[in-house]
Amino acid sequence: MNHDKGEGAGTEGNTTHGHKPFKRSRSHFPDRVTADGRDGWPVEAGRYRLVVSRACPWASRALVSRRLLGLEGALSLAVADPVQDDRSWRFTLDEGGRDPVLGIRFLSEAYDARERDYPGGVSVPAIVDVPSGRLVTNDYQQLTLDLATEWSALHREGAPDLYPEPLREEIDEVMEGIYRDVNNGVYRAGFASGQEEYEAAYTDVFRRLDLVSERLAGRRYLVGDTITEADIRLFTTLVRFDAVYHGHFKCNRSKLSEDPVLWAYARDLYQTPGFGDTVDFDHIKQHYHRVHTGINPTGIVPLGPDLSGWLTPHHREQLGGRPFGDGTPPGPVPGDEEIPARGRP
């Protein structure tokens, strides 16, 4: 999610006025942190810092993966203010308005350290090299896949396999449709500058959600019988659906809570350690409603919806499935990463 009025990761175009169709661009810094360090960035405990906004669905993928894999001790976390200014994502949640590890006030400073005046937005999630202060990557599509595969030497004992090799082709296929029509589709609808463009995106969103609902009616998870990367990517959009996409982005055929299958599926994941304990509904609402001034010029943040339903029984365990496969749930959330009460149901 870049800082230009809060578009999603790797976006371009004007969110407030422009007449061009919404377009999500490729990540400008596609370097990878790998086990063999082939891009010059070897996996190393304590060397890198993950910069996120809890408002951003793309960054939230990394938050969930990091928790499930137990990488909290190996990959430190910087959480940006959900409301940016023109200078990019800012660290105003930290004492003195500076990230305590990187010593910077704005994420753009890490981008500038890597490449000054590059033509693009400052997006999260981002991995920053702590010793040099330079941005390593903002490739939100690859980042979590690498956490699951390249970082395996640093995974906790009992970490799940989020991208199992025998299922990768099916996972990739499922994720592609979800990305195009749901993850990105809600943005295409929300930032559409014409009626036809909006209606096409709206149609794609609900066509895909109906297909996913059918798929999940008789199975607990999207691919196989355990949680995979595909579930993480769908969850981060679903958890924002009623709070922001239904009204703010005009994806209002129906609410998530009105689809019995998807609502139960989303609650099942929300109540699974590693998912709901990374979600801050307050940050989500503050960001979308205060930053997207072209969509919500008053900046008024809605009081609703009622979040208590997220904690109600889902009964999805009746479908079987093993959330963590042969592994175990992640441990408690580190104290300094707990979601404040105002961001939880």
| 189-222 tens-digit pLDDT | 999 999 999 999 999 999 999 999 999 999 999 9
Give catalytic status of residue 140 as yes or no. Answer: no
Query: Residue 208 in contact with residue 183, Cβ under 8 Å?
Result: no
CA distances from 260 to 80, 187, 208, 276, 343 (A): 34, 24, 16, 19, 24
Which sequence spans correspond to the domains of the chain? 11-154, 168-343
Cite the annotated binding site by residue number. Answer: 89
Give the model confidence (pLDDT) of 63-92 as tens digits.
999 999 999 999 999 999 999 988 899 999
pTM: 0.94
pLDDT value of position 9: 54
CB 109 within 8 A of CB 83: no
Task: List binding-site positions for glutathione.
Answer: 89
Structure token digits, residue 321: 């499935």
- Beta bridge partners of residue 128, listed in sequence order: 49, 135
At 24, is the pLDDT very low, low, confident or very high (cuts 50, 70, 90)? low
Share of residues in the chain with pLDDT > 90 (%):
89
State which amino acid sits at residue 308: S
Whose tokens are 């096409």? That residue is: 200
Contact 201, 182 (CB under 8 A): no
Residue 182 predicted with pLDDT over 60 = yes
* pLDDT the model gives residue 15: 37
Average pLDDT, the chain: 93
> Does residue 12 carry a pLDDT above 90?
no
pLDDT tens for residues 119-170? 788 999 999 999 999 999 999 999 999 999 999 999 999 999 999 999 999 9
For residues 47 and 44, what is the distance between their CA atoms, to the nearest angstrom? 6
Residue 25, pLDDT above cutoff 70: no
Catalytic residue among 48, 111, 163, 187: 187
Is 3 a residue whose pLDDT tops 70? Answer: no
Q: Residue 48 pairs with which residues in a beta bridge?
A: 129
Which letter, b or e, does each residue of 132-164 get, where b requires 16 or more Cβ atoms within 10 Å of its Cβ? Answer: ebbbbbbbbbebbbbbbbbbeebbbeebbbbbb
**Distance from first CA to last CA of the chain, Å, rounded?**
25
- Catalytic entry in 48, 56, 140, 198: 56
pLDDT band per the 50, 70, 90 thresholds, residue 26: low
| pLDDT score, position 22 | 65
What integer is the mean pLDDT of 48-71? 98
Average the pLDDT over 20-42 and give the result: 84
DSSP codes joined into one string, 69-137: HT-TTTSEEEE--SS-BTTBSB-TTSGGGS-TTT--SBTHHHHHHHSTT-SS--BSSEEEETTTTEEEE
Nearest to 156 by CA among 65, 224, 63: 65
In CATH, the number for domain 168-343 is: 1.20.1050.10
| 11 pLDDT more than 70 | no
Average pLDDT over residues 175-191: 98
Name the CATH topology of 11-154: Glutaredoxin (3.40.30)
- Is 187 among the catalytic positions? yes
In the structure, what pLDDT confidence band is assigned to residue 117 with cuts at 50, 70 and 90?
confident
